[in-house]
Structure 1
Amino acid sequence: MRVIPSLLAASLGLALSACQPAQTPAASNAGDAAATPAPVAAAADGGGDGAGNQTLYRCGDLDARATFNGEEAATVVIGGRSFAMSSERAASGAKYGDGKGNSFWTRGNDDALLSLKGEADRECNAVEATEGDGSAGNAAFRATGNEPGWLAVVDGDSPGLQVDVDYGERRFTVAKPTEGADGWVGKAADGTDIKLSFQRTTCQDGMSGETFEAKAMLAVGTRQYHGCGNFGGK
């Protein structure tokens, strides 16, 4: 009398086992479909970081242009020198180093510490930040070049032209430059002729690879410097 229930139980067990494989692939496919968007989103995030966020710092007697790629890496360009750095552990802020004794340690939004091997540490302050969008902050125009490193900024609100050349060794200020169709011209306080001109065509920085809105040429006296520049809002 007990054999029939046992057979029924065995039959039910076999029936349930036979049904199980049909359910398993459905669950697996649902899992795969749910997981598929994740790698796409990650790739999109990576592409955004690749553009980099750039900030210009004044570090004592040097100008440093730092391009941050996410939180993992940074490229710091100082004059004709370029340092590729990766993230390092720090008590606060974000610290990057190249493993050769050179490091750049940001502290808050505007301050940083530049350490170059064999040189005294330099305190840095942000001068102007760009976020890969082709703007020049509040400046009407900002241009920079390499070998030797130079920087020129035309103020947007109260037009004036500030120029640093030869890696910051020489500085000039033109209080009220004359604005023309292709640039600005004037005399510095010591009588040096200064002219900053631009050509509206795509320009790529040879050191960092960054793309700018214009080619730029700076004339300081009889010497000429070539580089790239971005326009900003006046």
Structure 2
Amino acid sequence: MKRSRCSLAVLVTGVLALTGCAGPDGAIEMVPIESAQPASQPEPVTLVMACDSVRFPARIEGETAWLFLPGETVAAKQVVSASGARYDGEGVTLWLKGEEGLLMQPGQPNQNCVNDRRAAIWEGAKLDGMDFRAVGNEPPWVLELWPETIVLKTGYEQVRQSWPRPEPTNLERASRFDLADGVSVLLEGKSCADTMVDERYETTVTVTTPERTYRGCGKALH
């Protein structure tokens, strides 16, 4: 039996592509190829803009910036600008250039702003739907409590481990989550100081693993 030899031919008409392959009788069989998938949307970006006289979170999702200003929420659309990224909505403008920005509001003087990176991480976690977040130092680690998952990231490489979130064991002014692999998470309702950033939190957190114990501070996000 003679084997046919196939050569690939691509015909582009709009978004349709076809391949041609010679069959045993020499006829060309055209087979559609799936069109390229659209580019995925970029991940949302959260900022906490510290301005001259106001401080507010901003959430950029695609071409829309949600500005959570005191007393109002503005959905600002991206518009063409000579430089940076400019968002306009309901008479309010946020013009971003890197980590800095300019806030313009009707009847008010323009305000210079700068993104508070550390606060933006916490605000971003809240807007992403995280319930609780904790941090610790030496080595650095982060604990995340999501509605259905508990995530622990450790070391400068942020090595990630995750477990299904169980029902907690309620103790006196504390809750304990007993996870698989001999890991437990203890949340105690007592004040905790993060000396690396000189900030106090409402909850003292202890994460115990077979290898070591991590101690740090955290807070509820909702």
If the length of structure 2 is used for normalisation, what is the TM-score?
0.45
Q: Determine which structure has more spread, i.e. the larger CA radius of gyration.
A: 1
Bigger relative contact order, structure 1 or 2 (CA pairs below 8 A, ≥6 apart): 1
Q: Higher strand proportion, which one? A: 2
